[in-house]
């Protein structure tokens, strides 16, 4: 196993802390959001992280800390690259805060848990406990988590959903007497701490016009419920030095193209522009890992951000359409006929397009939801039918099985999927992925290929699949003349 010691030197140190819980729905996301905001308002520079594949919690943590939240996932990202990314992201900050996923010891396997991230980064853990209908039993729970893996440092407890002062007193006494660690927060049930939710959890911050006000409200509320001095003392118990000199290419990394949801133009690394790539980024499409955007910029792409509700397609060399919740904005998407027509025509002319999940759906002929059908771009000759239950959910392993615009045949891809939709018909579709783990589009296949378009339900992380940014920018830099000759196309099936 790689160790963080391989990447450390002693000229800079920062504090660190991991927020976890015994199980999901204990309130750790709200606690982490509030803690980041409260500490930022006290003048600390806080770098937030989220364990696991996730876009939504990181969107709120980005607002709370004022810095792009990064994901830590040992399934998607090789350990050495994860460590380098972690320490590079923490350059110049006072504190790194990681929000865990599910329960502390939950994951794909023992290697994919929040506990493993804490072990790898040698981080102290604050355990957020849902104390509903519980008093002294909390000590047995916390003690069990302490003893389950004794090299994991659970150093404090935050009591959540506390009923009152008497309830708090019993809980606090049990933890501190039997577990030997402090209670550093006691949070009552409070509707002011709520954020609207849907099937993936919280709604993305970009969908809320009041996201900054919501985060500020949560931060100020929690400041009264948390002992910030004790929490900072715990964080100082594991000061993490900076990594060793980074590789030359890593030193050039352009950080945080979207630090707070801004719609900006991002220049390529070192000012060299090989290709202009549009990124559709708005309320419907906002699932982008910051490392993916940075990887494109570092390969020499200039990024131009596009609103699918009101913009037309600018002059581009490539187009990137990420995931999101298009089903909640189908009227707006259908209404921008100009953009839909622009994209359809550009694809037919050979524009390189990469789309994930929601982007895949948008490129189909229509999306049906709640007994109504809405027209979409139409270059993929399928209709999308949304369902109430997940159709694909979890990690994905895929092998590139056929020629395509982006990836070499034989490459193994690691990603994740979460979709509530199916595509019909599928007879005219050509696929590049053979799914080894996961569901994909149909019959363990995914990765639709048409001319220079590549669309999939699979979400990739650029640190785990560096071939993606390299291939996409390279393809875009060649221009429309680079339509792949080996791909059999059926133009009559793919026009709007």
| Distance, CA of 219 to CA of 187 (rounded, Å) | 12
Contact 438, 388 (CB under 8 A): no
Q: What distance in Å separates the CA atoms of residue 191 and residue 330, rounded to the nearest whole number?
A: 30
Bond preceding residue 106 cis, omega within 30 of 0: no
Angle between helices 56-65 and 28-41 (to 10 degrees): 20
* Distance, CA of 232 to CA of 237 (rounded, Å): 9
Burial of 261 by CB count in 10 Å (0-12 exposed, 13-18 middle, 19+ buried)? Answer: middle
DSSP state of 29: H
* Dist CA 23 CA 28 (whole Å): 10
On whether the CB atoms of residues 48 and 69 are closer than 8 A, the answer is yes
Query: Are 257 and 298 contacting, i.e. CB atoms less than 8 angstroms apart?
Result: no
- Show the tokens assigned to 386: 């949304």
Residue 8's beta-bridge partner residues?
Answer: 243
Residue 126 to residue 105: CA distance in whole angstroms: 14
Helices (H) and strands (E) in the chain, counts: 14, 27
CA-wise closest residue to 244 among 78, 84, 86: 84
Q: Residue 449, SS3?
A: strand
Is residue 420 a contact partner of residue 385, using CB atoms and an 8 Å limit?
Answer: no
Q: Which segments of 149-227 does DSSP mark as H helices, in order?
A: 165-178, 211-225
The burial class, CB within 10 Å (0-12 / 13-18 / 19+), for 458 is buried
Catalytic residue among 69, 179, 283, 357: 357
Whether 90 is a known active-site residue: answer: no
The DSSP secondary structure of 252-287, one letter per residue, reads: T----S-TTS---EEPPGGG--SEEEEEE-SSSEEE
Q: What are the catalytic residues?
A: 357
């Amino acid at each position: 196993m790689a160790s963080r010691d391989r990447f450390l030197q002693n000229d800079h140190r920062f504090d660190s802390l991991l927020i976890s819980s015994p199980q999901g729905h204990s309130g750790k996301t709200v606690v982490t959001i509030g803690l980041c905001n409260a500490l930022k308002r006290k003048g600390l520079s806080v770098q937030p992280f989220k364990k696991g594949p996730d876009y939504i919690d990181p969107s709120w943590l980005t607002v709370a800390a004022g810095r792009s939240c990064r994901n830590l996932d040992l399934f998607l990202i090789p350990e050495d690259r994860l460590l380098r990314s972690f320490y590079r992201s923490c350059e110049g900050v006072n504190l790194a805060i990681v929000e865990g996923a599910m329960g502390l010891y939950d994951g794909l396997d023992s290697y994919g848990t929040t506990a493993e991230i804490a072990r790898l980064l040698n981080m102290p853990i604050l355990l957020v406990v849902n104390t509903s209908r519980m008093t002294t039993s909390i000590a047995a729970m916390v003690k069990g988590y302490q003893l389950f893996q004794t090299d994991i440092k659970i150093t404090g407890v935050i009591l959540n959903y506390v009923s009152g002062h008497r309830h708090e007193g019993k809980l606090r006494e049990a933890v501190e007497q039997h577990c030997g660690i402090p209670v550093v927060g006691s949070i009552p049930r409070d509707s002011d701490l709520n954020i609207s939710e849907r099937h993936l959890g919280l709604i993305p911050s970009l969908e809320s016009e009041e996201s900054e006000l919501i985060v500020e409200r949560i931060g100020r509320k929690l400041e009264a419920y948390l002992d910030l001095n004790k929490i900072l003392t715990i964080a100082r118990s594991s000061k993490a030095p900076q990594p060793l000199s980074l590789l030359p290419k890593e030193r050039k990394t352009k950080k945080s193209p979207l630090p707070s949801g801004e719609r900006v133009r991002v220049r390529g690394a070192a000012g060299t522009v090989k290709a202009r790539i549009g990124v559709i980024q708005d309320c419907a499409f906002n699932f982008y890992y910051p490392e993916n955007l940075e990887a494109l910029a570092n390969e020499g792409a200039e990024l131009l951000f596009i609103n699918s509700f009101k913009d037309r397609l600018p002059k581009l060399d490539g187009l990137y359409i990420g995931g999101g919740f298009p089903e909640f904005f189908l009227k707006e998407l259908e209404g921008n006929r100009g953009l839909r027509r622009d994209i359809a025509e550009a694809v037919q002319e050979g524009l390189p397009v990469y789309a994930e999940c929601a982007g895949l759906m948008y490129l189909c002929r229509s999306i049906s939801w709640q007994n109504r059908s809405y027209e979409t771009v139409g270059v993929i000759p399928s209709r999308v039918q949304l369902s109430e239950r997940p159709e694909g959910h979890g990690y994905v392993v895929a092998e590139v099985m056929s020629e395509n615009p982006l990836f070499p045949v034989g490459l193994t891809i690691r990603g994740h999927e979460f979709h509530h939709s199916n595509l019909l018909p599928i007879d005219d579709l050509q696929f590049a992925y053979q799914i080894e783990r996961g569901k994909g589009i149909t019959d363990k296949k995914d990765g639709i290929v048409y001319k220079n378009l590549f669309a999939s339900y699979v979400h990739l992380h650029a640190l785990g699949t560096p071939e993606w940014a390299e291939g996409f920018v390279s393809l875009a830099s060649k221009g429309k003349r680079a339509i792949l000759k080996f791909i059999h196309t059926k133009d009559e099936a793919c026009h709007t």
